[in-house]
Structure 1
């Protein structure tokens, strides 16, 4: 037979359990990483790598601890799997075939391998894949499509992600052939953004934009961030943060662009830099946005 004090203790314990709030869900970590000519075989392509180099990149991928990573400049799923452990990640890549195999500048006998866009998605995170945004290549077989997915992470609202790698060579201003090409890509991207803004799911565009979008009065950012429809009021996850990856560069060209709904859920932004002893496994450092 229970004593009165024992009954009271049990009652208080049960009451405490009933009122204890559930533990908060960990933020959803979404990253982008240009992996600099990541080929299946380090003896091929424009960036020579040894087995130790691939192992080093895998350690950085693990340290990133991201749920979803958009990647750029990757030859194939096989190449991606040398960095992202297939036991931990689901890997997808754009369907576009390889373009021309240009010679690598200053590297006799080496030729460019396929530079593709894709995603590494942590196993257990559900996703749907939409058709690639092939129009982003503006008819040029050497330019990249966008890879389009909807992520359904447990405990989080769905989020639609578009991974991109835009034309290089037009980092600011509008002069030159590269800028003409980039100016053709921007309306394609804006059309995708406007269509998604009219839908109920929040969205993010992320990747290597090859453009300093945070620069004050950037005309191409103004084209994208026109606020029409209302959810197309865009934000850069880095805010006023500046990169530390390479001291030569003071502004990001790798961006995580949030729609108005995703921006309200932003819980943090970080850049993962490389240890001095490791050199630069890639000429870009990964950046990560965390969503509540």
Structure 2
């Protein structure tokens, strides 16, 4: 049984226009236009197309359980990370309910996994979105600057959501370099430090644009720690809409007892931050299997 804990808190080239909206009944249209929009993020830990493949080999029952988590989450948009391909995504995101968009970077997976799965081979880890059918969106070029010219680093997936009868919101799904969770001394910090100006350039461009924006994903950084240098760098309020809100500010994760600070974050600009009124984290019942080493997080924002 999956339990949810809710914490109530007081200009690019368009590649494609996707997800045309089907006609709705007047009652359904009114409901869709007035209810809060729910946005989530989940690193799915080497989600593979086939059973038994990747650094977290799964069975059909595992995929069914993960689809159950997605169904229970009932988000309008899920930013995801570490998904092999579209076929893998379709195993957990019901194609009848969601349109899936993935980064175009092919990646360069190589080598074997570590730990208990050392005999397994590494698979592609891609970033993307699952968008509820009936919600229109525009897709922009992937944010390849985050790759720093390295095929092993992930690009960002950049879309503008255009819900029926509601203000647009620009969304970026990211998965930054792992290993620099705090401070600046770890080996990976040199790479994460180079990614920050690329991300800040996207933030500044979006902040100067007409639409509110939100960045969702696996930041691999404890942004909520007091005095975090990465957070200070991006939350500079220049332009004014780059005055950012960290959705999990002041909240400790409860899903996995191994962790005391979030590294999966939802970051909102000044405009979207004012529309946010809820943050939640998926939790499992005691003893229940965890299907990824990350737990889904979500926010709700007003239309």
**Shorter-chain TM-score above 0.5:** yes
Question: What is the aligned partner in structure 2 of residue 237 from structure 1?
Answer: 247
The C-alpha deviation readout for 1:92-142, integer Å capped at 9, x for no partner, is 100000213221013343111000000000000100000000010111111
- Given the superposition, is the C-alpha separation of residues 108 and 243 from structure 1 closer, same or farther in structure 2, using an over 3 Å criterion? closer
Unaligned runs of 5+ in 2: 1-29
Question: What is the aligned partner in structure 1 of residue 82 from structure 2?
Answer: 73
Question: What is the aligned partner in structure 2 of residue 206 from structure 1?
Answer: 216
Question: Which one of 70, 85, 102 corresponds to residue 61 of structure 1?
Answer: 70
Q: How many residues align?
A: 272
Take 2:221 and 2:287, find their aligned partners in 1: how far apart are those partners?
29
Take 1:213 and 1:255, find their aligned partners in 2: how far apart are those partners?
8
Take 2:150 and 2:256, find their aligned partners in 1: how far apart are those partners?
30
Question: What is the aligned partner in structure 2 of residue 103 from structure 1?
Answer: 112
Unaligned runs of 5+ in 1: 1-20
Q: Which 10-residue stretch deviates more, 102-111 or 254-263?
A: 102-111
Q: Secondary structure at the match of 1:73?
A: strand
Question: Which one of 42, 47, 52 corresponds to residue 61 of structure 2?
Answer: 52
Note if contact 1:165-1:208 (Cα within 8 Å) is conserved in structure 2: yes
| Cα offset, 1:177, TM superposition | 2.1
Note if contact 2:33-2:165 (Cα within 8 Å) is conserved in structure 1: no
The C-alpha deviation readout for 1:54-102, integer Å capped at 9, x for no partner, is 0000000000010000000000111011000000000110000021322
Question: Which one of 258, 265, 275 corresponds to residue 248 of structure 1?
Answer: 258
Q: Secondary structure at the match of 1:34?
A: strand
Tell me the TM-score normalized by structure 2. Answer: 0.87
Question: Which one of 145, 150, 163 corresponds to residue 173 of structure 2?
Answer: 163
- Given the superposition, is the C-alpha separation of residues 68 and 232 from structure 1 closer, same or farther in structure 2, using an over 3 Å criterion? same
Larger RCO (CA within 8 A; separation ≥ 6): 2
Take 1:103 and 1:227, find their aligned partners in 2: how far apart are those partners?
43
Residue 148 in 1 paired to residue 158 in 2? yes
- Given the superposition, is the C-alpha separation of residues 80 and 24 from structure 1 closer, same or farther in structure 2, using an over 3 Å criterion? closer
Question: What is the aligned partner in structure 2 of residue 119 from structure 1?
Answer: 129
- Given the superposition, is the C-alpha separation of residues 253 and 98 from structure 1 closer, same or farther in structure 2, using an over 3 Å criterion? same
Question: What is the aligned partner in structure 2 of residue 262 from structure 1?
Answer: 272
The C-alpha deviation readout for 1:34-70, integer Å capped at 9, x for no partner, is 0011010121110010000000000000000100000
Equivalence map 1:16-55=2 (5 Å): 25-55=34-64
